[in-house]
Amino acid sequence: MPSMYLEMIRIRFLMMLAYRVNYYSGIIIYSINIGAYYFLWDAIYSGQGSMGGLTPSQMTTYVAISWMARAFYFNNIDREMALEIKEGKVAIEMIRPYNYLAVKMMQALGEGIFRLLFFSVPGMLIVALFFPLTFPNSWETWGWYSLSLSLSFLINTEINLITGVLTFFLLNNEGLMRAKRVVVDLFSGLILPISFYPGWAQSILHFLPFQAISYLPGMIFTGAMGSEQIGGAIFIQLIWVVVLLLPLYLMWIKAKNALVVQGG
């Protein structure tokens, strides 16, 4: 059984590999974005020692690692699901001897591993040539970061699966998916670290799953988070990984009964 899912990962990885040229321009685009925020933050700090708990050099690193991590956790699984539901292919998927959601998760993972190896890692090295980044100097931090990044991948994919499953009920959720993408970018801390928001907004954002996608791993990587807080951050991520499974599971049960195949 597990070997079947492993095969899903492998196939998706190979599929991505076939179109790898698309990703070279992706690295340039992400570097352009990192550059935009680098100059902006540089101007915003201009002399101030620390803002939102980050020094200027930590901020540069934060921006770079957050974008390159996004390259890893980002996927279009929700769009793929929406398309399969619209085209009625999902009916075939459902009678196959596997769990549809698990398969989607595996495909996301295959894509994620590909993007990590061919996008995030080389991208980070290229960006390090142009901007003054500081990498963590202890293996411990690297270890914690890897764990945190894996959890952020799980959380983001779960959110994508939830948006995807919503297509069963909404039939057309193009708008929702687009809005979700922007909201995740803003509230995950990609565009703006959570610690910059005014107090009232922070207290809301701390109760949402989005900060676990980008902000927490980013703070671990930059070293802005003390080692005594890292355990807590990972714990929050773990909670969200588990908590998000619940609505996903319930919606999936309902969706299987509500399924209306429009074509196929």
Q: Which residues bind other proteins (CB under 8 A)?
A: 22, 25, 28-29, 32-33, 35-36, 39-40, 42-44, 46, 48, 51-52, 172, 174-176, 178-179, 182-183, 185-186, 191-192, 196-198
* Cβ nearer to other proteins, comparing 105 with 162: 162
> What tokens does 25 get?
């321009």
Q: How far apart are CA 171 and CA 167, in angstroms?
A: 5
Closest approach of other proteins to the CB of residue 1, in Å? 39
> Which of 231, 87, 66 lies closest to 156 in space, CA to CA?
66
Closest approach of other proteins to the CB of residue 119, in Å? 14
* Cβ nearer to other proteins, comparing 33 with 99: 33
Distances (CA, A) of 186 to 3, 24, 192, 193, 194: 37, 25, 7, 9, 9
Closest approach of other proteins to the CB of residue 187, in Å? 10
* Cβ nearer to other proteins, comparing 175 with 226: 175
Could you count the other beta carbons within 10 Å of the beta carbon of residue 255? Answer: 20
* Cβ nearer to other proteins, comparing 48 with 257: 48
Q: Is 54 helix (H, G, I), strand (E, B) or coil?
A: strand
Could you count the other beta carbons within 10 Å of the beta carbon of residue 196? Answer: 16
Closest approach of other proteins to the CB of residue 131, in Å? 12
* Cβ nearer to other proteins, comparing 176 with 238: 176
Closest approach of other proteins to the CB of residue 241, in Å? 26
> Which of 221, 153, 190 lies closest to 63 in space, CA to CA?
190
> What tokens does 168 get?
């069963």
* Cβ nearer to other proteins, comparing 105 with 184: 184
Closest approach of other proteins to the CB of residue 70, in Å? 14
Residue 217 burial (10 A CB sphere; 0-12, 13-18, 19+): buried
